[in-house]
Structure 1
Amino acid sequence: MRAYPIRTRYIKRGENFIPIVLEAIRKSNIRLEDGDVIILSEKMVSTAEGNFIDEEQFKPSILAYLCYYWSKYIWGYLLGKIFLKEEKIKSLRKMPKRESLKHKQMIIETLGLRYALKPYAEGGVDLTNVPLTYANPLPKEPKKWAEMLYHEIKREFNVNVLVMIADTDATYKVLNFYVTALPYAIDGIISGLGFFGFLLGKIAEKLKIGGFIGGTPLAIAGEMRYGIKELARMAYIADRVQNNIKNVNELLERYNTYVITEDILEKMEHTPIVIIKVREEWKRE
């Protein structure tokens, strides 16, 4: 299996990404073949939908404060030592108070408390690749966009690929079940659990009855040739090769700000498309 990240320019809010994806694939000089998997970042799809929420309008409640302290101190100093890697622990300890309180309140009001209790990446809402004080929730209609792109690729390149829209948030195996903390996922993955899906996955890792298997496929279109475990692994690989800012602390380190602007976004390199050649062996350059 080998993954090829495909560059595009910054796709703006409300802009149709499908012709941009087709043009980027043509310019990449990668020959598409039957059975290839094309993975799209959920951020690009949601941005194209214009699916933004301005967090500045939210006034933190007592619950937002509780969720903030729960994430920063309980997970950052206690539970994190049991369940999280050191990098995540350090990131939680650096949570900016003002921005985090507004973010937690937005999650409480739009998704619910069970998502706000998750210490990070609550409900798949993205903060790092969107302008100003906006947040970017998951796409509203991922299946529709996946099917549209699948048919356009089939028409344009005369190949039968699998199109997947995926999120970086984890899918876990728990005994014989697959779970995610996200609000939705493809059939076969139990979703909508929020924090409890995250906790189940972490406990399964500790008890060695399952654990992390990859990212989360949100929607697919095309001939289903792969199982949940393979799709989740592809989603994880796609995330690893994409050149995206992963969290707000990385944003601070690169640009000395927690608030990104469209100017910064337009200067950044974007690779929201990844082509997976399933039958092609990865070789070190």
Structure 2
Amino acid sequence: MKAYPITTRYIKRGEDFIPIIIDAIRNSGIKLEDGDFIVLSEKMVSTAEGNFVDESKFEPGILAYFCYYWSKYLWGYALGKLLNIKEEKIKNLRKLPKKETLRHKETVIRTVGLRYALKPYAEGGLDLTNVPGTYVSPLPKDPKKWAERLYNEVKKEFGVDVVVMVADTDATYRIFKWYITALPYAINGIISGIGVLGFLLGRLAEIFKVGGFAGCTPLAIAGNKVYKNYSIDQFVRIAFICDRVHNTIKNINEVLEKYNSYVITEEILEKLKHTPVVVVKIKEEYIPNR
């Protein structure tokens, strides 16, 4: 398979992205065919829903302090090493900014629950790297609706029967024959809603060689019924490939390095290149550049 990122302008809160994507695909020069996958970033879907939460509205409580120290010290100096978390992420945990992290942890606790705030990073799908100001964006409220809307519009405009997937960058793990994620929800076939426990089990599966990281997490799928012939392993692999070709800020430390700020403004977002849509051609062979 081969993945093609589709460039769009920055899509603002509450803005309908469907016509923007249709125009972007039309201008990309890519010819869509039956059975192709169109994979959407969950962030774009949440943004279109206006699904933002203002972290500045929350005053950190005792559980937020607990989660801050838990992440910075227990994950940063003990669990991170034991569970083979990447060294770069461990370093980032050790230098977590206290004020911003406390508000973020409080937001996670109130929005999705303590079991997600105990995760060291990417807590419950709340994204703070590609939204403006002090806002964070939870997972979409209704990703299936948006996937079906785009599917119908693509069929109408291009006359092709594709598969539309909404996917999150957070991991799906395989444990023996089961698949699990630390996100609040995922497509059928992936165990979800268990928070930090999903992360712990996934890391342990890798250490004991009974599974491990399988890919990124699909949240919703709509369209061509051919997708019913695919396995969970194939879905999460497609989501992972798309995550690799997205051009986006991956973590808040990138913002600090580039703009000397932990706060992202709309001006910063408008300067960045955005590829929230990826077209995946299943039958096209990927040949790496030499």
TM-score band, normalised by shorter chain = over 0.9
1:260 is paired with a residue whose SS is coil
Shift of 1:158: 1.0
Map of 2:231 onto structure 1? 227
Shift of 1:176: 1.3
Deviation by residue 1:97-137 (Cα, 9 ceiling, x = unmatched): 10000000011111111000000000011000000000010
Map of 1:274 onto structure 2? 278
- TM-score computed with the length of structure 2 as normaliser: 0.97
Q: Which runs of 5+ in 2 are unaligned?
A: none
| CA–CA distance in structure 2, aligned partners of residues 191 and 97 of structure 1 | 29
1:119 is paired with a residue whose SS is coil
Shift of 1:226: 1.6
| CA–CA distance in structure 1, aligned partners of residues 244 and 250 of structure 2 | 10
Would you say the 8 A contact 1:11–1:17 is kept in 2?
yes
Where do 1:239-254 residues align within 5 Å? 239-254=243-258
| CA–CA distance in structure 2, aligned partners of residues 22 and 278 of structure 1 | 20
1:219 is paired with a residue whose SS is strand
4+ residue runs of structure 1 moved beyond 4 angstroms? none
Shift of 1:251: 1.0
Would you say the 8 A contact 1:71–1:118 is kept in 2?
yes
| CA–CA distance in structure 1, aligned partners of residues 128 and 198 of structure 2 | 21
| CA–CA distance in structure 2, aligned partners of residues 238 and 94 of structure 1 | 29
Kindly provide the amino acid, as one letter, of the partner of residue 195 in structure 1: V
| CA–CA distance in structure 1, aligned partners of residues 70 and 283 of structure 2 | 45
- TM-score computed with the length of structure 1 as normaliser: 0.99
| CA–CA distance in structure 2, aligned partners of residues 70 and 45 of structure 1 | 31
| CA–CA distance in structure 1, aligned partners of residues 138 and 99 of structure 2 | 20
| Deviation larger for 182-191 or 223-232 | 223-232
Are 1:78 and 2:83 counterparts? Answer: no
Kindly provide the amino acid, as one letter, of the partner of residue 239 in structure 2: A
Kindly provide the amino acid, as one letter, of the partner of residue 270 in structure 1: H
Map of 1:43 onto structure 2? 43
| CA–CA distance in structure 1, aligned partners of residues 276 and 92 of structure 2 | 24
1:127 is paired with a residue whose SS is coil
2:140 is paired with a residue whose SS is coil
Shift of 1:35: 1.2
Cα RMSD, aligned residues only: 0.8
1:144 is paired with a residue whose SS is helix
| CA–CA distance in structure 1, aligned partners of residues 189 and 174 of structure 2 | 11
Shift of 1:93: 1.2
